[in-house]
DNA sequence: ACCTGAACACCGTTCAAGT
DNA sequence: ACCTGAACACCGTTCAAGT
């Protein structure tokens, strides 16, 4: 679905620098359209994404886009692919780091990328991620988890658990904001949550009251590391290899 | 935000049975509006949700809804709250089951409920879940995880990891469908994924090729249990209590 | 091959007006 | 207090037509 037709590969960002175009129309390309769509959401948030807004940014009529993209839904899928294609898979094969460290490195980098394009996590929940970039992430994760000593089938299961934890956490994190970049800083968002939680009557919500400081940080990099680390602990426990037995 | 004004509590479903109303207008209520919204998405999927569609189902003009609900976004939040309010928190305190079993029971029941209202997981990613029903789920989970011997702060952290895993998994699962109930059966969805994965050239995607059967089941109750169980293993490892030391 | 004008069937939200 | 008519500024998508 995302690899339909002969698409020019390797010229990402070739023409994203001029937001509003001028001068002779040199003929659009599919990457121009995706670039423009990403620029639209990065400027106006997820609600700003529309065929008409993307067309306007390209200086073209709305229906022109249908030359390059089958539908708004297909365009959304391309945006997800574009961002996933920028994921640094090299982090999953860094020498001198354990499989655990490599996965944490990759997950944190991916989280940062997704927070930089806060409309994208929601789009990931909107259609299947079956493009080449999504598959490449899966390949890298299964590979890393296999090296941990896990049987390949369990490595694949563990891969999906990690994907769910990472994308789910980022999506819920963005959901607490308006999604318009730049997002409020983590400390501001924590403070907002703390303020909300502090107003709850402790009689009604004793557990929330007892854990305000932790729950205020649910959408933080700290909690992100704790959750992922705990999941990786569980994954490691399914390994028969010794703990020292890492690359 | 979801507890604004004096809302009549305890009469859920009081008037959802008549889809298209007739006869003397007895005056609407906020629960009627939320009922109608849920009915709209359960019939037409997430894309069918609109202020105008809900109003039409209630036999009323679109702008009438603004008497009961501040905006479309607020309505979406109410729909999430309604479904969360139906979660069976009793499963988190069932006698004779370990904390692990209770959490798994609850998570599987919640997954089933969300799959029955497939528009809802996406709505959960769209706005903060800060209503009373969402808080109650948090209370129950923190309580259960505390009884495991975990310090209350770690119980709160573990709670969020579980929430992310459960909601994230369901949201990604729904994303592979069109979201219109009833969803295709699990076996049909697995078969569709297997077919897609089987078409990939093994040279390009060796890991995917080696794990087709597992990856075909990524969106299954089987994988859901594996992921959650593995996470709970990691959580249990943060406990100092003995494994037998469960309620 | 690519872009447009025009049209169709929609949206969410507001405001003043009615009862 | 509740509902409406009318309006505003939008949507995605199609189709026939132009170049």
Residue whose structure tokens are 């089951």 = B97
Q: What global pTM score does this model have? A: 0.90
Contact residues, chain A, for B103 at CB < 8 Å: none
Which tokens hold the place of A99?
A: 């499989």
The confidence score (pLDDT) of residue A27 equals: 81
What residue of B is the nearest CA neighbor of A211? Answer: B153
Q: Cα(B175)–Cα(B80) distance, rounded to whole angstroms? A: 17
Q: Cα(A208)–Cα(A225) distance, rounded to whole angstroms? A: 21
Distance in angstroms: CA B6, C1' C3:
55
The shortest CB-CB distance from A165 to any of B156, B168, B211 is to B168
Per the CB < 8 A criterion, the answer to whether A142 and A153 are in contact is: no
Distance in angstroms: CA A12, C1' D12:
27
A63: Cβ under 7 Å from strand D? yes
- Is the pLDDT confidence value at B13 over 70? no
pLDDT of A220-241, one tens digit each?
999 999 999 999 999 999 986 5
- Is the pLDDT confidence value at B222 over 60? yes
pLDDT of B192-205, one tens digit each?
999 999 999 999 99
The confidence score (pLDDT) of residue A11 equals: 32
pLDDT of A170-225, one tens digit each?
999 999 999 999 999 999 999 999 999 999 999 999 999 999 999 999 999 999 99
Band of residue B88 on the pLDDT scale cut at 50, 70, 90: very high
pLDDT of A46-86, one tens digit each?
999 999 999 999 999 999 999 999 999 999 999 999 999 99
The confidence score (pLDDT) of residue B26 equals: 60
Contact residues, chain B, for A143 at CB < 8 Å: 207
Q: What is the mean pLDDT of chain B?
A: 90
Nucleotide with smallest C1' distance to residue B70 CA:
C13
pLDDT of A29-50, one tens digit each?
999 999 999 999 999 999 999 9
Q: What is the mean pLDDT of chain A?
A: 90
In Å, what is the CA distance from B228 to each residue of A95, B166, B221? 31, 8, 10
The confidence score (pLDDT) of residue B240 equals: 61
Q: Between A206 and B6, name the one with better pLDDT.
A: A206
A61: Cβ under 7 Å from strand D? no
List the 186-215 stretch of A: residues with Cβ below 8 A of B. Answer: 196, 200, 205-208, 210-211, 213-215
Listed in sequence order, the residues at least 6 apart from B170 whose beta carbon sits closer than 8 Å to its beta carbon are B110, B111, B114, B115, B121
**B157 vs chain A: nearest CA distance in angstroms?**
7
The confidence score (pLDDT) of residue B7 equals: 34
Listed in sequence order, the residues at least 6 apart from B26 whose beta carbon sits closer than 8 Å to its beta carbon are none
């Amino acid at each position: 679905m995302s690899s339909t037709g002969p698409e020019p590969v390797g010229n990402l960002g070739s023409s994203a620098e001029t937001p509003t175009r001028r001068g002779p129309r040199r003929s659009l390309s599919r990457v121009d359209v995706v670039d423009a769509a990403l620029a639209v959401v990065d400027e106006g948030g997820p609600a700003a994404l529309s065929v008409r807004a993307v067309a306007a940014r390209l200086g073209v009529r709305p229906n022109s886009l249908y030359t390059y993209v089958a539908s708004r839904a297909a365009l959304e899928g391309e945006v997800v692919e574009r961002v996933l294609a920028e994921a640094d898979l090299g982090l999953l094969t860094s020498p001198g780091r354990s499989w655990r460290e490599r996965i944490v490195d990759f997950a944190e980098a991916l989280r940062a990328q997704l927070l930089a394009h806060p409309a994208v996590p929601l789009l990931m929940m909107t259609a299947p991620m079956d493009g080449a970039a999504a598959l490449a992430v899966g390949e890298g994760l299964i590979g890393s988890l296999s090296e941990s000593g896990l049987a390949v089938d369990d490595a694949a299961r563990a891969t999906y658990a990690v994907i769910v934890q990472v994308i789910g956490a980022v999506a819920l994190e963005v959901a607490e904001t308006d999604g318009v970049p730049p997002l409020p800083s983590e400390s501001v968002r924590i403070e907002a949550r703390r303020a909300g939680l502090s107003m709850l009557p402790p009689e009604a919500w004793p557990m929330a009251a007892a854990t305000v400081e932790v729950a205020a940080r649910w959408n933080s990099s700290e909690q992100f590391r704790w959750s992922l680390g705990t999941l990786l602990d569980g994954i490691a426990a399914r390994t028969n290899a010794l703990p020292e037995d890492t690359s």
